[in-house]
Structure 1
Amino acid sequence: MLDTPQVVPSLVPHAAVLRFTIAKHAVQEVMGPAIGAVLAAVAAEERQPAGPVVSHLPCLYPEGWDVEVGVPVASAP
């Protein structure tokens, strides 16, 4: 049986996020470079990721998707 879901406070409230729109067929070609771009932006600010890379699809369209790729960071710039 599954446990009852719980809301817990986030220990890392800041994130570096890249948002873009892609065609559905391009997702495999785009995600790797997008992850690289987010990590490069974090490194360019001499900061470190504070957790795993995440992706989110906030909007789905017949021709493509809005995609967000991000990584938590320890503090705001």
Structure 2
Amino acid sequence: MSTPASVAPAMPVGPPSSVEALIRKDGRLTLTFADDAVLVVEPDDQYEAFTVTSMPPPGFRGFRFVAVPGRGLAHW
């Protein structure tokens, strides 16, 4: 079982800086970070694999992308 003390050394200090986010129509998300690390979220046949939501300033319209089960993408 992992304890916070055993996990902490593997965690970076501070939030990572995302350089690129790619959302595909098949429900795949790829995030590339400033240190060239890449995180890929694959679609799932039974569950929503991810949700990406914007936080715009007041008066601006935001967006939301959801990877729907079965390799699809919903957005509004």
TM-score scaled by length of structure 2:
0.29
Higher helix share: 1
Q: TM-score, normalised by structure 1?
A: 0.29
Report 1 or 2 for greater relative contact order, CA contacts < 8 Å, sequence distance ≥ 6: 1
